[in-house]
Amino acid sequence: MAPFQVPRVFRFDDIDAFRSSIRNLDVDFTPLARRISAEQVILSLPGCDLNYTRSFPRIIDAQLAPDTTAVGFTMDDGVPIRFNGVERDRAVIVIGHSGAFYTSVEKTPRQYVSIIFTPEMLDRGWPGAGLNFSVHEISQAAQDRLREAVRQVLFVTSEAAMADVTGEAVKESLLAVIDQAFSEIVPAKWTARANSTRQFKVFNDARAVLAGNVAHPIYSGELAKQIGVSVRTLHDAVQRYRGMSLHRYLRLRRLWLVRQQLLAGTHSVKASALAFGFWHLSDFSRSYRSQFGESPSETLAAARPK
């Protein structure tokens, strides 16, 4: 049996570096803070990675890699995370299998753990596969045990004196506490809404259309037409999964697309703003500064060679 590997610690103040550090997850996110500060502790065990993340305010869209299972839970208490359209401050655990999607909105910095198993875990009686990650309420005692198990694992495996500890033994302890948590799922009506797929499909279809069109703006009517729903249906899906109106969501996306052009240093501020539908330039500048903490011209100046 191979001995454990010491946890690796990564710290980030660059969004692209943080995105590229995430394995087995195709992830895209929009920061909701002017500057980011994140930390990730990764412990590699036989057949799984334990990821402890200290995050920053952001919007996340993610899809799990094939032939994997991911289990996640928070390690702190704070402003509830909007996960797959619901906000809960009670103890919860989430799970996704091979190719599952999730979306979340984190309004404040939070701490959470994801444990990603490869290959997919199919023989433990955990909740099954679906289009999206499923959310389950658990007892407070189960949440406390999950958190304490992670703290103990990271503490013990960081000690050089514990060289005789095996990764298989550590993984088995994590599996045991996850098994127990899933055996203590609390029946709750809100989880049925969280785990439904009808609105999730509308939102996910819209996200896919937007992801495939980054060179020009897409407005509400055109987007609704492309995915075959009414604007009201689209608005309701965005409101649920983003916690904001359809108009604000599309405007925020357009601001980020302008920023990407300015960071490339190849377009003028005016040309970039107009290209993405910001015809009121002074209003655009105010919105841009409010979102990113600097003016558009400052972004462009910093991106161009000196």
User: Residue-wise pLDDT tens for the chain (306 aa)?
Assistant: 445 578 888 888 876 677 666 678 888 777 787 777 889 999 999 999 999 999 888 888 888 999 999 999 999 998 888 888 888 877 899 999 999 989 888 889 999 999 999 999 988 999 987 888 999 999 999 999 999 999 999 988 887 545 556 788 889 999 999 999 999 998 887 787 777 777 888 888 888 888 777 777 888 888 999 999 999 999 988 888 888 888 888 888 888 888 888 888 877 889 888 888 888 888 889 988 888 888 889 888 887 776
CA distance 57 to 266: 29
| Cα separation values, 157 from 5, 153, 177, 296, Å | 7, 6, 17, 46
Residue positions counted in the chain = 306
Q: pLDDT value at position 94?
A: 94
Q: pLDDT value at position 163?
A: 55
The owner of tokens 């990603």 is 116
Q: pLDDT value at position 78?
A: 87
Q: Does residue 66 have a cis bond before it (omega within 30 degrees)? A: no
Q: pLDDT value at position 150?
A: 96
Closest by alpha carbon to 33, among 18, 51, 15, 20? 15
Q: pLDDT value at position 299?
A: 86
Dig out the tokens for 197 from the structure: 């797929």
Dig out the tokens for 87 from the structure: 């906000």
Q: Where are the alpha helices (DSSP H) in 50-101?
A: none
Q: pLDDT value at position 1?
A: 46
> H or E stretch including 30?
strand 25-31
CA distance 59 to 177: 29
Structural domains of the chain, with CATH: 8-194 (2.60.120.10), 198-303 (1.10.10.60)
